[in-house]
Structure formats: structure tokens, C-alpha cells
Structure 1
Amino acid sequence: MTDDRAPALCVLAPDPLLAVEIEEGRAGGAPEIHVHPGGQGLWLARMAYSLGARVVVCGPFGGEVGDITAHLARSADLELRATGTAGAGALVQDRRSGEPEEIATMPALPLDRHALDDLYGTTLVSALESDVCVLTGSRSDIGVPGDFYGRLVDDLRASERAVVADLSGDAARAVVEAGCTVLKISHEEMAEGGFASGTGLDDLRKAARTMVGEGPAAVVVSRADEPTLVVTHDGDVLVTAPPMTTVDHRGAGDSMTAGIAVGVGRGDPLPQAVALGAAAGALNVARHGLGTGRREQIETFAQRVTIEELS
């Protein structure tokens, strides 16, 4: 039975980003400039908030760009627990041609030992006050080692907190070994990280079953336009959302993870939590703006998502 109370989520966002986008003006007018808080953690947090969750975001929001990013995030009703002095990154894109052209990119500053310790402690304490902790990675090398994530999972499991991770590479390997609640990972990341020998369904299924045997309660493998693979100790299923015309494919995976985390937080069975995530991801690609959507539309659309058990 679904718990309709608002779940509390703690989102680790180690790489917040100020996103500046130049769009074609309406009716041939002057270009439009849009400014958003970005990065995987913040995009995911925005969708989780749209789905009714109470969201706390932990991350480094130092420097001039970090101040602006934090202000925009708080304006979107996200609670922030900022750490250290490391600065956030920034990305300027020209999207007037229909395809994004990066004009300028400023990577986030690397996190030193003290900044990592501050981020760890802040995330741990915040997660202990939440129903679910969501772990995200970064698009740049800011120096967050895999064992940072593994230690977080170990400490949160000791306090019986659910952990949903959207990670790849060494970070994914660390949370698998530590036994996170759910690892969400793409088919490409499964192959590139050496978890699977290929991206075919059989290869992914075999690899995910091996990973589940090592610790996680579930592995969710997103497969682009193909049905999402969900592997648990109880069996394997495919989750399929109705096809949508894509306006902007970015953020679909983050929206899916947000839906999964919200579903886990409110007590949905895992296949239904993934169905909510699939609906959030599918509807997100039909909108301008990453991590955005309306809860009532996503909840209704989730009823059209199919769940097929695999033998």
C-alpha cells in the first residue's frame, strides 16, 4: 500500500552547476537567456520536490557562482546545506540551432581533504534525518573518491537508512560492495565500468544478478529507448513507459532516479517505484527544463507504465 505522506530525501550534490542557456527568441525576436541551478544532484532534487518530497541538498556552494546557484536552488524551494569554500561550476550553452553548443565551461573546484570531510559529515547527519539518501556523482573530476560513497552507505545502513545511488565506475563499485538499497546505472555505464561484458539484455541481466548477490537490494539498469531492467533478490522485471516525442533528452535519467527515490521513501514496492521513475523520466523529455514536471501528470502517466516479469 502506498504511503501518501511526503517522504524526506537527502540528496548529495558534490558538483552543483550554474547553467546559462541561450534560446531562440519567440517569433524571431531577441534571444532568450535562461539561468538555472544545475548538475545531477540539483536536477534530481527538483524532480523529487515536484513529486511531493521534502528535499535537503548537501553540496559545496562556495564562490561567486556558488552563491548564485544556491540562491536559484532556494528559489525553487530546495533546502540547502552548503559546505566548505569550494566553488560551484558553470556552463554556458547556445541552443538556438536546436543542438546545444557549449560556449564556455568552468569546472567546479576540486575538493580537498577538509572539504571532503565537511561534505561527508553534513551529508551523513542530514541523511540520518531523512527517509532516503540519494547519492549522485559529478561531471568533472572534483576529487570525490569511491570509498567516500562506500563509507556513507556503510554508516547509513548501520542506522537502517535507505540509500539510492545513481553512480558509475569506482563509485558504483563501492556502493555495490557496501550494499546500497538501489543502484541505478545505465547500460553504457555497466559496460564501460567493466560490470557487464556487453550491453545486450542477457549480458546486463547476468551482471546485475552478480551485483545483487554482492550486496544491493536492487540494481536498476536504464537502457535508453529500451525497457528498464530491474533486478532484485526476488526476480527480474522489465519496466516500459509509453514512448514520448523528445524535446530535450537531458535529465531523463536523473528524473528516473528521483522517482525511484520518492517511491522508496513512501513505501512503494520497488517495481512501482521504478514505474514512477520511468514516468518522470519519460515526461521530462517532453518538456523544456531539466528535472521539471507536475506530480499529478507523472502519477497518472505512471499508471500506463507496464511491468513485465522475466522468467
Structure 2
Amino acid sequence: MTIARSEVRRAALRIAPYVRRTPTVLLGADRAGLPHDVVLKLEGLQHSGSFKARGAFNTLLSAPVPEAGVIAASGGNHGAAVAYAAARLGHRARVFVPANAPEAKLARIRRYGAEVTPVGNDYAEAYQRSLDEEARTGAVRVHAYDQREVVVGQGTVAYELSRQAPDLDTVLVAVGGGGLIAGCASWYTDSVRVVAVEPERAPTLHAARAAGSPVDVEVGGIAADALGARRLGTIAAEVTGRYVDESLLVPDAAIRRAQEVLWEELRVLAEPGGATAVAALLCGAYVGAPGERVGVLVCGANLDPASWSVLPATGV
């Protein structure tokens, strides 16, 4: 399945009244121990705390939504984005979540007015329940990563970045089910090198590339709630096969260090999944060529500060 750049451009115009044009910031090599400066796209400042709002809005604005409303299955970020978009557009929303999903993320979904229904202990069970609910009610289902409108919407991150930093040579993107990287690669095609970064304990794309097609993998680690899809999406498999140059794995320790660097140097709070692409630079999994201009998507910030020991204690 191919996605044209014109689709991404139209989606950017469609969702513009509803999403933020998130900023970029330069992370200097002299401050972070990097071999060169890096342009960070701070998508954690997006509505609902991650890039996921883009795909949610694009889906709900692409076709009429019935009275039955909107449904989704999610471990957190996608559910929050769907709940936010549905509330903004005046639709009912119901989100099926694994029972072990982080409470901070579930609280955000509820705060946006969606009904939260815990199902089982993993995304697959929640997703199956959403399929059953779609068949029963006729509600619009918004897939977390393997739906054309969702992928096109996520690609608007790259559309924006290409205007904010038009001279990049390489962009590093974290991967879970593959919706974000598929959207970004569909925009950049061969004009910019797109590199995938995954946690070692959630190697969905890496395993698919090794096997020649999507396969089920065991997932775990500190970023599993955001990047813990067990199988790469079919859209992502095709798009990344064409346009993604490299697939890298990083350990949990590097992800945690990336969170620390983002906080210490920029006062940017990133959840583990949001910091995963930065981790590839800090641990040496990706080493750019001399003079290479590198951009990194910091894609999510839905982290409970009280659970993270790096942050200083509250005080005056």
C-alpha cells in the first residue's frame, strides 16, 4: 500500500485547525555528548501528549461519524488522542485498554470524557473487543497504527518538520506498530534518510525485516506501553520496506539516559517511547557522518512525573 505525499499534505491542511504546530529545538553536541548538533521535534507538546492526535483527527475528519461514536483499543497514548479528538469534534468515544495499562494514561483518557473499558492484559485482547464492538454498534474504529487515515495523519509530523528544518539529511523515528514511521517515510520518501529505532525488548520492525514479513514478537521493557505492538502493521511493512534505510535497537538503559538528557539539558519531559529515538544517538547505535544534519522525533510525553526519580523533589 503506497501513500502519496499529496495525501499527507491534504491531511496537514485538514487537521491544522485542531492540532498544534509543535516546535523544534537544537540539542547541542557540546551539552549532550553527541558527535554533532541534533534538531529535536517536540511532539510531546501536541494535544493529548503525543503525535497520535494527528492520526485521530485525520480519521475522524475524513468521513462522517455515526451516532454510535468512536471506538479504539489502546495501551494509553492512542486512546488519549482518540478521546481528545472525539471530544473536540463532539463525538462519543469508548476506549478498550489492557487492564495493566498505566494509570496516568488511563486518567488522561477519562479526563477527555471517553468511556474506558479494561479488557485482558495485553493490546491484542483489547483490540479484539474493539472489533466486536464495532460490529455490534457500527461505531467508527480508529486503529492505533494500521489504518490508512491514521498513517497519513501521523505523516504530518514529517510535513511540519520538513518546513521547520528543510536541510536535514537524516531523521530518526521510534517504532511501535509502525504508524508514525510509515507516515513520515511516506512524506520524505527518498529525499531524507529515515532510520527506525526500537527498544531491544520490543523489536517489532527489526524482527519483521529479518523475517521478510511481519511476525509476532514478545515485548517488554520500559517503553512497552507505547512501543509494545506485538506485530508490525501491514501498511508500515510495505512503506518501511521501500523508504526506511536502517532499523536499530537500543537498550532500556539508553532510553532512560535519553530521558535524563532531555530533562537535564532542555527541561523536556519525555516518556520512554518518546525518548527512544534520542537514545540511538546517545548510546552510539546511530553515528552520523561528519557534517550530517540529523533530526529526531521526540514523540510522546505522557509520563507521570511522580514516578520518575530523575525529576527533583517539589520545592521553592
* Same-fold call, TM cutoff 0.5: no
TM-score range, shorter chain: 0.3 to 0.5
**Richer in helix (by share):** 2
**Richer in strand (by share):** 1
Structure number with the bigger relative contact order (C-alpha 8 A, sep ≥ 6) is 2
TM-score, normalised relative to structure 2: 0.32
TM-score, normalised relative to structure 1: 0.32
